[in-house]
Structure 1
Amino acid sequence: MKTFAFEHATSVEGAIASVVATGGKYYAGGTNLLDLMKGGVEAPPALVDVRRLDLRNVAATESGGVHIESGVTNSAIANHPLIRSQYPVLSQAILSGATTQLRNMATAGGNLLQRTRCPYFMEAAFAQCNKRIPGSGCAATDSFNREHAIFGASDACVAIHPSDMAVALAILDAGVHVHGPEGRRTVPIADFFRLPGEEPQRDNTLRTAELITGIELPPSPFAEHSWYLKVRDRHSYAFALVSVAAGLEIEEGRIRAAAIGLGGVAAKPWRVAEAEHSLIGQVPSLDAFRAAARLVMAGAQPLSQNAFKVDLGLHSVVRALTKAAGSAGRVAG
């Protein structure tokens, strides 16, 4: 690990000014950033600690939604009464990821900013990784790519985004509040992450020195009928091969609204509007869910080792929708 400067920020504006001045990075839980620094993948000249900014509140909004400040830990989000009762799919998604110890440290903002776990990115000894060394090539394209993208990839990068929380936020149409040198703005979660294109080194649409200050959830119609399903090689502490966040609004026996988000398959949570719209007006049934699943997976472009994700995705979407349709909308425990 290279030497770096370290500073405790005492205000949002001060933190932004420090990152602008030093070219450094914001530091909160550090559960991903420190690993990358230790491995030589990241080498920021400075870390600006934002843990003293008191961005640790979860509160109801006047519109009936919930605002989560960026410094709230994953554990605190997952176990908050407002999240468990109104957005159980978010609680389920968070609890499916990492270990309790990591969830106790990781923050809402950091979760969105975590980097891919592609081994060619994570291991600095590999010379080919466009995300780490732009222009060097993508080693995964013709090598080990079992865990990589089947949607939205490019010749430059086939890595996926590893967040479980982001997949749930995607079907909840969350907004990400950011503050930077140019002021404040809110980025819809659908526009927050970037597909690799020719610039895979850019994971998201944040501008220079912008700090995530919060995540806002609008009122959700899916509190009673939602589910997060994560399929992985082992139950304990593994990233998703395929995950599905499913939400349904059911009224008088028919589906009034639907949302399906996939994780583990692209560089951003993956939604297909046509599949969601196909469920509107339908009676919840296996036939309707299978038809929607086929639409979700229709555009898949598997690599040499991950064609199994297509069939796995089909079954996972059907299973998640079935569980959502029958769920009581609450997290057990």
Structure 2
Amino acid sequence: MTAPAPMPQHAPPAPGYASPIPVTRSHFGHALASEWTKIRSVRSTVWTLVIMFVLTVGVGLLFAVALSSQNEVEMPLLAGGFFGLMFGQLCVITLGVLVITSEYGTGMIRTTLTACPQRGRVLLAKAVVFFLLAFTMTLIACTLTGLIHSSMLADQEVPYYAIHDEYLEDSIENGKLVATSGHWLGATVGASLYVSLLGLLGLGVGGLLRHSAGAITTMLGVVLLPLLTALFMVGEGLSSFREKLIEYSPLNGLATLFRIPIEGEAGDTGWPLLGLLAGVTLAVLIAAYARLTTTDV
């Protein structure tokens, strides 16, 4: 009778691998740092913001030079800043779209969502980083443009027939143009918030469409189409709808913050339209979050 085979001897377990990198629980700050690294290391961010700055300040400067050669001015002191920002906002909108659609175009979104499975955290981090960057840069450009207009046009006289103009009643002091604290707040902080929200809306639309060209085209339509459509509504029966279309158009909201409304009453500040834009932007971002969390990628 043969002896039973000896039981195999198992080697003692090897000691576990200890990573030299400290393992910590991820949080929202890590997502913010990641999105900030991505947005500042992409060339399109730098070029887009530089072009926005040049357009806003450059067109504003040209406008101030043109007005300074005249003896009389018939608009609020800081109103000329609108014309540069009207072009500069397109750059901010484009950047807002590219913040998210560029990752879908390159497939980088898969890596992002693998590193941070909390998809809501990713979208929120993108929105916060972009909004703060866009607001800061736009505020600097608007403030510089306002200072240029204030220094070049503050001594301009207002024509006698415009002294009692309802749109200029709070912009005249001793027959000359002045800018009140409300004017400065609207033309700098208000305008910067408005443009940044438009860019954030572009980010939300980009999250829904996931295609750069489609999202940018959609946002251009949102900004330009209401006003362009209203220009061709010439019938009397369409007058009421035309006025509302112009009043609630994005360009009119921005112009009202500079106290030169395309459609509206004297004394309108643009802050209610800013609140409306914030509500629309929030709704689109919620829709983008819903799509991001209910699809594979």
* Richer in helix (by share): 2
Q: Which has the larger radius of gyration?
A: 2
Q: Same fold judged by TM-score > 0.5? A: no
Query: Could you state the TM-score of these two structures normalised by the residue count of structure 2?
Result: 0.29
Q: Bigger relative contact order, structure 1 or 2, given CA contacts below 8 A and separation 6+?
A: 2
